[in-house]
């Protein structure tokens, strides 16, 4: 993983352990609401989580692409992101999902 893989929004880095925990909890919530039973541990470090998340995306696409696409819509990934290529670009999907989940956390913090 390189610096480009580190997600940030409004100066908040996902690598911060408290931020990462909130992002993982939001991700798990969206997974459950999408009918997916996979859960990520919120006690993991960013590098390990990122690797696990990338592997999960690849597996989820193979196991049930329709359910995975439902998850992406739940997270609020724009349709243009899904249709960039005829094939899924796992790295870009991972980045888009994590950016969106981080945005949700930051925007919720501003409202509360």
Query: pLDDT under 70 in the chain at which residues?
Result: 1-5, 79-87, 110-112
The confidence score (pLDDT) of residue 109 equals: 77
pTM confidence score: 0.88
The confidence score (pLDDT) of residue 22 equals: 96
The confidence score (pLDDT) of residue 30 equals: 97
Sign of the four-CA dihedral 78, 80, 86, 90: negative
**Token pair listed for 85:** 């290529």
């Amino acid at each position: 993983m390189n610096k480009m893989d580190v997600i940030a929004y409004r100066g908040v880095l996902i690598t911060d352990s408290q931020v990462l925990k909130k992002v993982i909890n939001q991700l798990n919530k969206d997974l459950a609401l999408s009918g997916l039973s996979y859960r990520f541990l919120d006690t993991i470090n960013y590098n390990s989580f990122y690797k696990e998340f990338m592997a999960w995306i690849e597996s989820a696409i193979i196991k049930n692409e329709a359910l995975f696409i439902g998850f992406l819509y739940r997270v609020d990934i724009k349709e243009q992101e899904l249709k960039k290529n005829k094939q899924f670009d796992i790295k870009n999907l991972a980045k888009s999902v994590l950016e969106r989940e981080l945005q949700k956390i930051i925007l919720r913090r501003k409202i509360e």
